[in-house]
């Protein structure tokens, strides 16, 4: 319990719990729509946002949010234009954002001392302002997922039927990707830009191994997410390692255990 004596640890844990709640809610729709690579692409885009913030000497967290949201609109527009095939638009944005990040970091005269925390996560760097920003935007994400829950559910399982029913499928997909971009950017302080997609996708995939109904799958994804984030937080503190790495490794361990348990049954 001595870890709660330190304000920066309390802030890190609070931010981690908030992210652990919203990530699976978005991740379950991405996994079922086979959009998992979008989370990975936006995580690389967020790195370009971090680099822009470091280059401009501005809050990298806020620039990552802005760049991720703008990129989500570009990704969906390029995907719908039919000018590129399949998921080529994701490859374009992923490689392009990495190139931009490298150029900006080189112009900023190398890697910042804080860059490692933005790449792989660090509970030490989470400020009070970051916690409030994460909380406000997380509430925004949850409210809109709740409002459009049925429409998201409909287009997740049958886009053609949803389109015939009058649901604006293209617009809903754009909105969903924007919510993903917000979630990706919010998770940067906890797991880092390079590991964000794991936090969004792995709990959802783990819960799907249980082969339950949709609402029960979301509930179990939430349980797995909270369990692994809190466990990773404690492991990172007591063993003095990256919080992002600890969280993702525990997530993978839980996934393996659940998969093996279900396969034996």
Residue spans per domain, the chain: 2-260
Tokens (6 digits) for 146: 């709740």
> Which of 153, 154, 135 is closest to 218 using CA atoms?
153
Q: Is the pLDDT of residue 256 over 70?
A: yes
Q: Please, what is the average pLDDT of the chain?
A: 84
Return the closest-CA partner of residue 101 out of 223, 232, 174, 193.
193
pTM for the full model? 0.84
Q: Give tens-digit pLDDT for 33-69.
A: 888 788 888 888 888 888 888 888 888 878 888 898 8
Residue-level pLDDT at 85? 65
Average pLDDT over residues 82-88: 68
Distance, CA of 104 to CA of 110 (rounded, Å): 9
Residue 264: pLDDT band with limits 50, 70, 90 = low
- Tell which wins on pLDDT, 225 or 1: 225
Q: Is the torsion defined by CA of 238, 249, 245, 132 positive or negative?
A: negative
Give the range among 18-22, 43-47, 105-109 with minimum mean pLDDT: 105-109
**How far apart are the C-alpha atoms of 146 and 25, rounded to whole Å?**
10
| Pair 65, 182: CB distance under 8 Å | yes
What pLDDT is attached to residue 227? 93
Query: d(Cα 175, Cα 170) in Å, to the nearest integer?
Result: 9
pLDDT mean over 21-41:
87
Q: How confident is the model at residue 86 (pLDDT cuts 50, 70, 90)?
A: low
Confidence of residue 218 (pLDDT cuts 50, 70, 90): very high
Q: Which of 48-52, 115-119, 163-167 has the lowest mean pLDDT?
A: 115-119
Q: Residue written as tokens 């080189």?
A: 106
Per-residue confidence (pLDDT) for residue 113, from 0 to 100? 55
Sign of CA dihedral 30, 157, 254, 10: positive
What is the pLDDT at residue 84?
Answer: 67
Q: What is the pLDDT of residue 76?
A: 78
Give me the architecture of the 2-260 domain, per CATH. Answer: Orthogonal Bundle (1.10)
Q: Cβ of 132: how many Cβ atoms within 10 Å? A: 13
pLDDT value of residue 103? 86
Question: How far is the CA of 130 from the CAs of 13, 133, 134, 214, in angstroms?
Answer: 12, 5, 6, 32
Q: Which of 96, 124, 106 is nearest to 192 (CA)?
A: 124
The predicted pLDDT at position 109 comes to 65
From CA 205, how far away is CA 208, in angstroms rounded? 5
């Amino acid at each position: 319990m001595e870890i709660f004596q330190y304000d920066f640890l309390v802030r890190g844990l609070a931010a981690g719990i908030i992210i652990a709640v919203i990530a699976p809610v978005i991740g379950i729709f991405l996994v079922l729509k086979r959009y998992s690579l979008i989370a990975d692409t936006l995580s690389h885009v967020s790195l370009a946002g971090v680099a822009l913030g470091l280059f401009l000497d501005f809050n990298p967290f806020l620039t990552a949010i802005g760049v991720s949201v703008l990129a989500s609109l570009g990704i969906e527009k390029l995907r719908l234009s039919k000018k590129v095939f399949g998921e080529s638009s994701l490859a374009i944005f992923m490689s392009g954002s990495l190139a931009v990040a490298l150029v900006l970091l080189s112009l900023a005269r190398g890697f910042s001392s804080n860059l490692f925390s933005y790449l792989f996560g660090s509970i030490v760097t989470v400020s009070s302002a970051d916690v409030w920003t994460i909380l406000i935007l997380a509430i925004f994400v949850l409210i809109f997922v709740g409002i459009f829950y049925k429409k998201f559910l409909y287009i997740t399982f049958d886009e053609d039927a949803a389109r015939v029913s009058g649901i604006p499928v293209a617009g809903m997909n754009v909105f969903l990707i924007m919510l993903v971009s917000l979630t990706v950017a919010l998770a940067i302080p906890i797991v880092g830009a390079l590991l964000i997609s794991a936090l969004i996708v792995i709990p959802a995939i783990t819960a799907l191994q249980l082969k339950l109904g949709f609402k029960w799958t979301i509930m179990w994804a939430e349980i797995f997410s909270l369990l692994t984030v809190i466990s990773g937080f404690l492991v990172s503190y007591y063993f003095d390692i990256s919080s992002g790495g600890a969280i993702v490794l525990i997530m993978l361990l839980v996934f393996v255990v659940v998969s093996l348990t279900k396969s034996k049954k």
